[in-house]
Chains A and B, each alone.
Chain A
Amino acid sequence: MNPRVVLSFKLAVLAGLVLFPAIGSSFYVELVAKILVMSIFAMSLALLVGFTGLVSLGHAAYFGIAAYTVALIAPEYEAANLWFVLAASVLAAGAAAFFIGLFVLRTKGIYFIMVTLAFAQMAYYIFHDTALGRSSDGIYLNVKPDASLFGWMPFNLDEPLHLYYFILAAMVAVFVLLAFVLRSPFGRVLAGIHSNEHRMKSLGYATQRYKLAAFTLAGALAGVAGFLYAVLFGFVTPDYLSWHQSGNVLLMVILGGLGSLAGAVAGAFAFIGLQEMFSDWTKHWQLLMGLVIVAAVLFMPSGLAGLPRRIFRTVNWGEDDE
């Protein structure tokens, strides 16, 4: 596809997201805000799965650790400083990813999938029904953080619209950051590891360090998502770290098609859109979701992002760059 067409499509989607609160009701504004948060989460995992070839089935750990960090350090009835709790949550998630990465990156392939899942379950048990996690029902974050910076308050997160635009800005920032990282020499090395790690090693790259850096960055960015999720809904529960959460975000990445940041965002929209639609019809919505997933694997191996490419190719529209 023509890169200009792609860019103008992305900008059109962004414009739609900026203008959305003008037409959407408050219910849909909150829903789209939730999808934007999950887009950040999905993009952070796409860095590992799509671009480095590391299939992590435990990414919810970093999401949940960041969410618990803000809930635990924020004072109970006062507003915490947004910038301080944001930095602390992201640091906690990144540090956890670095530490767990030291262990899990010793393995490959099927082992890596199982070990990331197991470590995430370990993180789950740290917060589930322990003194630290307080109870298995979770913790309320009663007051939204205060955005003031040296006495100046640029926006107020108590306003749903301000919160929406703050989340949208974070999503765009993560998108741009990751796009930049992937084009940098560091990102090229990750792509090299994805296609042939042995060759990268023999070229003299310490691939293990690159993988650890990618794992840590992905964990920190998942932390951004977890932080925003906690602020958006005002509570955290151990379910944020559950393996279903890890499975769902992996689904978003795969549904969107691997190897594209926009695909991860599309996957988040598709997954939560389907979830909302199905749960409107029946409380057994996971049955329909499961059937969609099984059908998608059997009949649509290249994911959602592959779909427009296939359609464009069939109607022979624009030049084909493959």
Chain B
Amino acid sequence: MDFTSFLIQILNALQYGLLLFLVASGLTLVFGIMGIINLAHGSFYMIGAYLAFALTSLTGNLMLAIVLGIPLAFGFGALLEKLLFVHLYKRDHLQQVLLTYGLILIFEELRSLTVGDDVHGVAIPDLFSASIALSDNLSYPVYRLVISVVCIALAVGLWWLMQRTRLGMMIRAGSFNREMVQSLGVNIDLLYRTVFALGVALAALAGMLAAPISSVYPGMGGNVLIISFVVVVIGGIGSVWGALVAALLVGFADTFGTILLPELAGLAVYLLMAVVLLWRPEGIFRKG
């Protein structure tokens, strides 16, 4: 492999890892703060991608679709928390698994009923449709770079939100001791709803950004869900920083696993997880 194609693969691994981070960060926050295992998190990624498809056909522009889609996803998440997830906080993991598995079935069928089971493409906005030439016959699409930049900006924003704002402080405090935060006068129900909706919006945004690259297809939520679980297991539940490192590791393992061991393409990520389990069963950055 020459240097240019090596560089392209590194950029691909980064972009894939950063996108995974968007999905996994919401998952790990909801796990860590509310103690909820949410199998339907992959569905939010799928819903985001289909939202991008529907809104792009409506408005004619992906960027406009994303701007419209984020508040929709956030509102959807808040509604879902108010109607269903609020009942799960005191239930055991098994019932959480059960209810969120039921939600997956419902979301998949609603998708099939409204959009159908065909694969759809989403056009890259004209502004980013160019490619950067790296050598005579190799180039790198601008849109993938844009995804990486957006994800990095969001990661910094998330860090700032969690560490430097009052909301982030309340979220961190709430994950340690719910009752104490409540008795200090914080509206913990509203706080939980915000965190959950934020997680939904992040997963949906990842789906919207990925839609032009991966296209939009049935079952896309399931793959992302399982890989995000791997990310959370490697990074440690509740750790946003861990999710970032783990997502990048998974991105590199998957990209270079496919190149170096094409026969076992799907396995590299899981082998990485197995190694981490032997080394640190609670994840690399487990808190508390």
Q: Is A49 an interface residue (CB 8 A)?
A: yes
Complex: chain B residue closest to A55, CB-CB: B94
B93, A113: Cβ atoms closer than 8 Å: yes
Among A62-70, A289-297, A310-318, the one that faces the other chain is: A289-297
Q: Is A284 an interface residue (CB 8 A)?
A: yes
A291, B277: Cβ atoms closer than 8 Å: no
CB of B181, distance to nearest CB on chain A (Å) = 22
B109, A106: Cβ atoms closer than 8 Å: no
Question: Cβ of A117: which chain B residues have Cβ within 8 Å of it?
Answer: 226, 229
A:14-64 near B, CB below 8 Å: 49, 55, 57
A107, B277: Cβ atoms closer than 8 Å: yes
A49, B94: Cβ atoms closer than 8 Å: yes
Q: How long is the Cα–Cα vector from A296 to B270 in the complex, in angstroms?
A: 33
B31, A110: Cβ atoms closer than 8 Å: yes
CB of B31, distance to nearest CB on chain A (Å) = 6
Q: How long is the Cα–Cα vector from A131 to B274 in the complex, in angstroms?
A: 23
Among A79-87, A143-151, A190-198, A243-251, the one that faces the other chain is: A243-251
Contact of B277 among A115, A244, A297, A298 (CB under 8 A): A115
Question: Cβ of B264: which chain A residues have Cβ within 8 Å of it?
Answer: 125
Question: Cβ of B91: which chain A residues have Cβ within 8 Å of it?
Answer: 297, 301
Q: How long is the Cα–Cα vector from A61 to B264 in the complex, in angstroms?
A: 17
Contact of B102 among A110, A244, A294 (CB under 8 A): A294
Report if A301-B99 is in contact (Cβ < 8 Å); known contacts: A128-B266, A290-B106: no
A115, B273: Cβ atoms closer than 8 Å: yes
Q: Name which of B95, B229, B271 has the most chain A CB atoms within 10 A of its CB.
A: B229
Q: How long is the Cα–Cα vector from A293 to B97 in the complex, in angstroms?
A: 11
Q: How long is the Cα–Cα vector from A111 to B230 in the complex, in angstroms?
A: 10
CB of B151, distance to nearest CB on chain A (Å) = 23
A57, B97: Cβ atoms closer than 8 Å: yes
A:236-295 near B, CB below 8 Å: 243-244, 247, 250-251, 254, 258, 284, 286-287, 289-294
Question: Cβ of B6: which chain A residues have Cβ within 8 Å of it?
Answer: none
Interface residues on A, range: 35 or more
Q: How long is the Cα–Cα vector from A168 to B27 in the complex, in angstroms?
A: 43
Question: Cβ of B93: which chain A residues have Cβ within 8 Å of it?
Answer: 55, 109-110, 113
Mask, B23-42, CB within 8 Å of A = 1, is 00000000100010101000
Report if A254-B98 is in contact (Cβ < 8 Å); known contacts: A106-B281, A115-B273, A119-B270: yes
Interface residues on B, range: 35 or more
B contact patch SS = helix
A297, B95: Cβ atoms closer than 8 Å: yes
A118, B273: Cβ atoms closer than 8 Å: yes
B102, A114: Cβ atoms closer than 8 Å: no
Q: How long is the Cα–Cα vector from A292 to B97 in the complex, in angstroms?
A: 14
Q: Is B173 an interface residue (CB 8 A)?
A: no
Mask, A136-169, CB within 8 Å of B = 1, is 0000000000000000000000000000000000
Contact of A294 among B103, B113, B270 (CB under 8 A): B103
Report if A247-B101 is in contact (Cβ < 8 Å); known contacts: A114-B232, A115-B233: yes
Q: How long is the Cα–Cα vector from A25 to B91 in the complex, in angstroms?
A: 43
Complex: chain B residue closest to A111, CB-CB: B233
Q: How long is the Cα–Cα vector from A286 to B110 in the complex, in angstroms?
A: 10
Q: How long is the Cα–Cα vector from A53 to B87 in the complex, in angstroms?
A: 22
Q: Is B22 an interface residue (CB 8 A)?
A: no
Question: Cβ of A104: which chain B residues have Cβ within 8 Å of it?
Answer: 277
A114, B233: Cβ atoms closer than 8 Å: yes
Q: Is A103 an interface residue (CB 8 A)?
A: yes
Question: Cβ of A107: which chain B residues have Cβ within 8 Å of it?
Answer: 233, 277, 281-282
Question: Cβ of B112: which chain A residues have Cβ within 8 Å of it?
Answer: 284
A287, B106: Cβ atoms closer than 8 Å: yes
Q: Which residues of A contact B (CB under 8 A)?
A: 49, 55, 57, 103-104, 106-107, 109-111, 113-115, 117-119, 121-122, 125-126, 128, 130-131, 243-244, 247, 250-251, 254, 258, 284, 286-287, 289-294, 296-298, 301
Sample of 14 more A-B contacts, CB < 8 Å, known A251-B101, A286-B109: A110-B93, A111-B233, A111-B281, A115-B277, A117-B229, A118-B226, A118-B273, A125-B265, A128-B266, A130-B263, A250-B98, A254-B94, A286-B108, A290-B102
In order of increasing CB-CB distance, the 7 nearest A-B pairs are A293-B102, A125-B266, A290-B105, A287-B109, A122-B270, A290-B106, A106-B281
